[in-house]
């Protein structure tokens, strides 16, 4: 990318990685092709420090207040929130389905854990997504190597700890290659 990477301001607390916020919204019921998915996703902005993160986040709508079929994505700078990105194509994600009312708190806890490097899995984390839907909301965290079971187990255990979820919450791991196969059956 030709774009200049953001840097922490004077006296600010640097993050281990720079991140970019994205937003997407689509008409429900219609499976998005890769192209229209890329057209629907908008960059909000990038940050390099804790303070810069709060400047974005404090002005963003809470996921629980979004309507319709919307997603916030927070990915490391340079990684597109798409299965096809080089950082994601061998990867997968942990998915947690949430009943309505929990998304804002869970999303905040999830991204604070990611920005603060709480997962302890080296370079493996790619980003996180909150998806607002009609019946339920979904949060997910994406990592680079779906086949690395030690990493995916560690991510799962950290999620349980930082999200403080009810014990009966179901967590599901999905590889992106499976997600691509599934969408191809819907949108040939």
Partner 1 sequence: GTRIIYDRKFLLGCRSSPVAK
Residues that bind partner 1 (CB under 8 A): 9, 11-16, 50-51, 54-55, 58, 109, 112-113, 115-118, 162
Q: How far is the CB of 56 from partner 1 (least distance, A)?
A: 11
- Maximum C-alpha span of the chain: 52
Residue with tokens 């301001």: 9
> What whole-number distance in Å separates Cα of residue 17 and Cα of residue 50?
11
Q: Judged by CB, which is closer to partner 1: 41, or 106?
A: 106
Q: Judged by CB, which is closer to partner 1: 76, or 176?
A: 76
Q: How far is the CB of 161 from partner 1 (least distance, A)?
A: 11
Q: How far is the CB of 16 from partner 1 (least distance, A)?
A: 4
Q: Which class for 47: exposed (0-12), middle (13-18), buried (19 or more C-beta within 10 A)? A: buried
> What whole-number distance in Å separates Cα of residue 118 and Cα of residue 30?
36
Q: Judged by CB, which is closer to partner 1: 22, or 47?
A: 47
**Cβ atoms 87, 144 nearer than 8 A:** yes
> What whole-number distance in Å separates Cα of residue 33 and Cα of residue 102?
29
Q: How far is the CB of 31 from partner 1 (least distance, A)?
A: 36
**Cβ atoms 43, 21 nearer than 8 A:** yes
Q: How far is the CB of 6 from partner 1 (least distance, A)?
A: 15
Q: Judged by CB, which is closer to partner 1: 45, or 116?
A: 116
Q: Judged by CB, which is closer to partner 1: 85, or 108?
A: 108
């Amino acid at each position: 990318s030709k774009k200049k990477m953001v840097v922490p301001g004077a006296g600010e607390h640097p993050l281990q990685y720079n991140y970019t916020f994205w937003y997407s919204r689509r008409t429900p019921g219609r499976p998005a092709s890769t192209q229209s998915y890329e057209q629907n996703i908008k960059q909000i902005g990038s940050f390099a420090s804790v303070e810069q993160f709060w400047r974005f986040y404090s002005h963003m709508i809470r996921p629980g207040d979004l309507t319709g079929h919307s997603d916030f994505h927070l990915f490391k700078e340079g990684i597109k929130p798409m299965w096809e990105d080089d950082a994601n194509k061998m990867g997968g994600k942990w998915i947690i389905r949430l009943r309505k009312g929990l998304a804002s708190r869970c999303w905040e806890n999830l991204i604070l854990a990611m920005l603060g490097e709480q997962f302890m899995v080296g370079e493996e984390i790619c980003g996180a997504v909150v998806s607002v839907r009609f019946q339920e909301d979904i949060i997910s965290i994406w990592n680079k190597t779906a086949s690395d079971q030690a990493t995916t187990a560690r991510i799962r255990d950290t999620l349980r700890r930082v999200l403080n979820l009810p014990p009966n919450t179901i967590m599901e791991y999905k590889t992106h290659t499976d997600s691509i196969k599934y969408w191809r059956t819907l949108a040939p």
